[in-house]
Amino acid sequence: MGANNTPDQDELRVFHTGDHACGYWPSRIARDLVLDPRDPRMPNLYPLALGWGFRRSGDIVYRPHCQGCRACVAVRIPVAQFTPNRSQRRCLARNVDIEARIVPAERTEEQLALYQRYLRARHRGGGMDEHGGIEFDQFLIGSWSHGRFMELRERSVEGKGPGRLLSVAITDVVENALSAVYTFFDPEFAERGLGTLSLLRQIAWAQRDNRAHLYLGYWIEGHDKMDYKRRFRPLEAFDGRAWQALV
């Protein structure tokens, strides 16, 4: 990736990480390509990097680049063509009492408490369940990101303030696209399908703002926690050179 893909003529520096344990398949070894996090152009480079199949975690913009493995496939939804399937329509109907609010990417104590409950339920013993406010900011916000938080709340009762917070979807807002960075939700309300609902509301947000795509990060065929992305159609996948319809 040279000067032609960047806002000016300075070379874009891309690094390989060392080998590390794969976060998706524990028996495998992974490594990533990482854009230079010290590059002052990163806020302008990031929208381009999404189109190259990269993803953001805090201030780190990365793409899996594992030896002998190409399981992680960057995917995005062309939102103008999206139509919810029957299951997704049921999810929307089941949650008509849930309101979405777009708020600044600034941590609140209410959000942090929900995040910690989610991690204790979903990632107990994995290290993330020890996250506090500092880790929340480093992982979800970073110092330069274009992020917003989409809160899902129970419908408020007039005169009693906002309803109970059920979910927070960290969403990057870039030119002509949204990127779904991370979502956490109240584990006591699993029957609501809050993960699915958050994506459906992000799609609606992108449609409302006339943005072309919602980036979903990586899809991994056959992986229980990642294969759900195939249910959002149509879906486009990055093959290393171009975006193609995923069939």
Report pLDDT digits (tens) over 35-77.
Answer: 999 999 999 999 999 999 999 999 999 999 999 999 999 999 9
Q: Which of 148, 119, 121, 122 is nearest to 132 (CA)?
A: 119
- Whether residue 33 contacts residue 49, with contact meaning beta carbons closer than 8 Å, is answered with no
Top-level class of domain 76-245 = alpha beta
Per-residue CA distances from 3 to 8, 105, 182, 192 (Å): 7, 31, 31, 47
Residues of the chain with CATH 3.40.630.30: 76-245
User: If we measure between CA atoms, which residue out of 149, 154, 121, 122 comes closest to residue 136?
Assistant: 149
Q: What is the pLDDT of residues 146-191, one digit of tens each?
A: 899 999 999 987 767 789 999 999 999 999 999 999 999 999 999 9
DSSP at 12: P
CA 25 to chain centre: 19
pLDDT tier, 4 (very low <50, low <70, confident <90, very high otherwise): very low
pLDDT tens digits, 79-133: 999 999 999 999 999 999 999 999 999 999 999 999 999 999 986 655 566 789 9
